[in-house]
Structure 1
Amino acid sequence: MKNLVIIGAGGFAKSVLDSVDHMNFRMVGYIDDIKTKGVEHLGFPVLGNSIECLEIPETYVYFVAIGNNAKRKIWFDKLKGMGLSLINVIDKTALVSHHATIGEGCFIGKLAILNHGSAVGDNCVINTRALVEHGCHIQSHVNVSTNATLNGDVICMDGSFIGSGTVVNGQITIGEWALVGSGAVVVKDVSPHSTVVGVPAKVIESKSHKYNS
């Protein structure tokens, strides 16, 4: 059994703890850059504010439980740069095709579906009841929120954020670090760094935002 440290002692950690395979991973505690060392969160202690507080970081495996794509990317890159191991957390109720691929450090939530030929890159969140249909290509540091639907052959570029309840029509590309608002219906490609909302989705902002790196 491997000892697990979760980066981020917030709300996302609740879902991670609920879905992690406790038969193979023993939760030790959190690294959180805000909370005080020793404070408990969901029954486990905050170990410190940085990886450097751990005596032998290589003896642990890690998961980055941060919803913000850019902040999650910063931690993912730091852990990889230190040569540390990140795990995937895949809920036992998720339906993942044997013909789907998943990168490193990903979260696949309750009742999420990844169908035939779908590919998920590194450090992604496929949240509760999200549907990723056949042939979708989700690059790295992407968040597909609760109840979102990506129909066939959708491409989500690095850092894009798909809001809860969104529907993306087939064969559409969501540009890098774009943000799609909750409940949107996306019927055409979304440009990089833009924010779209509504039915059908329309651009309301075309510049860098808080999800940008």
Structure 2
Amino acid sequence: MKNLIIVGAGGYAKSVLDSLDHMNFRMMGYIDDVKPRGIDHQGFPVLGNSIDCIENINEYVYFVAIGNNAKRKVWFDKLKKRNLSLINVIDKSALVSHAASIGEGCFIGKLAILNHGSSVGDNCVINTRALIEHGCHVMDHVNVSTNATLNGDVICEEGSFVGSGTVINGQLTIGSWALVGSGAVVVKDVKPHTTVVGVPAKEIRSTNHKYN
């Protein structure tokens, strides 16, 4: 059994703990950059606010439970820079094709589906009931929210965010660090660093920066 430390003691961590394989991973506590050391969250303590608070850091495996893609990337990169091991958390109810691939540090939630030929990069969130159809490519640091549907051969580029209940038509590309609002129906490509909402989805904002 491996000892696990979760980065982020918030709501996302609750889902991670619920889907964690407790037969193979022993939860030890959290790193959280806001909550004070020693405070309890879901029965486990906050160990500190940085990786430097952890003694013998190589004796643990890690998971970054931060919903914001940009902030999750920062922590993922910090841990990888130190050559630390990050695990995947895949709920036992998720349906993952033998011909799908998943990177490192990913969460695959309850009843999520990854179909034949789909791929998920590093540090991604595929949340409850999300459907990733055949041939889709979800790149690093992406969040596909609850009950979202990616039809066949969709590409979600790095850092993109797909809101709850969104439907993305097949063969489309969601650009890097773009944000698709909840309930949108996407019928054409979404440019990088833009926000789209509505049915059909229309651009409402464009920025050169990663969304907050």
What is the TM-score with the length of structure 1 in the denominator? 0.98
Instruction: Show structure 2 runs of 5+ residues with no match.
Output: none
Report the Cα distance in structure 2 between the residues aligned to 1:138 and 1:158, rounded to whole angstroms: 8
SS of equivalent to 2:79: helix
**Residue correspondence of structure 1 range 9-158 to structure 2 within 5 A:** 9-158=9-158
- The answer on whether the counterparts of 1:159 and 1:211 sit within 8 Å (CA) in structure 2 is no
Task: Name the structure 1 match of 2:198.
Answer: 198
Report the Cα distance in structure 2 between the residues aligned to 1:161 and 1:143, rounded to whole angstroms: 5
SS of equivalent to 1:79: helix
Report the Cα distance in structure 2 between the residues aligned to 1:208 and 1:13, rounded to whole angstroms: 30
SS of equivalent to 1:105: coil
Deviation readout 1:165-204 (Å, 9 max, x if unpaired): 0000000000000000000000000000000000000000
Residue type of the alignment partner of 1:157: E
Residue type of the alignment partner of 2:87: I
- The answer on whether the counterparts of 1:117 and 1:135 sit within 8 Å (CA) in structure 2 is yes
Are 1:5 and 2:5 matched, yes or no?
yes
- The RMSD of aligned alpha carbons is 0.8
Residue type of the alignment partner of 2:30: Y
- The answer on whether the counterparts of 2:100 and 2:118 sit within 8 Å (CA) in structure 1 is yes
Superposed displacement of residue 102, structure 1: 0.1
Report the Cα distance in structure 2 between the residues aligned to 1:8 and 1:209, rounded to whole angstroms: 23
Residue type of the alignment partner of 2:140: S
The number of equivalent residue pairs is: 212
Instruction: Show structure 1 runs of 5+ residues with no match.
Output: none
SS of equivalent to 1:62: strand
Superposed displacement of residue 69, structure 1: 0.1
Superposed displacement of residue 61, structure 1: 0.2
- The answer on whether the counterparts of 2:142 and 2:158 sit within 8 Å (CA) in structure 1 is yes
Report the Cα distance in structure 1 between the residues aligned to 2:45 and 2:18, rounded to whole angstroms: 17
Report the Cα distance in structure 2 between the residues aligned to 1:207 and 1:44, rounded to whole angstroms: 39
Task: Name the structure 2 match of 1:163.
Answer: 163
Residue type of the alignment partner of 2:134: H
Task: Name the structure 2 match of 1:180.
Answer: 180
Superposed displacement of residue 42, structure 1: 0.3
Q: Matched residues, percent identical? A: 81
SS of equivalent to 1:80: helix
SS of equivalent to 1:67: coil
Report the Cα distance in structure 1 between the residues aligned to 2:8 and 2:97, rounded to whole angstroms: 29
Residue type of the alignment partner of 2:59: T
Deviation readout 1:130-158 (Å, 9 max, x if unpaired): 00000000000000000000000000000
Superposed displacement of residue 160, structure 1: 0.1
Report the Cα distance in structure 2 between the residues aligned to 1:146 and 1:209, rounded to whole angstroms: 25
- The answer on whether the counterparts of 2:7 and 2:31 sit within 8 Å (CA) in structure 1 is yes
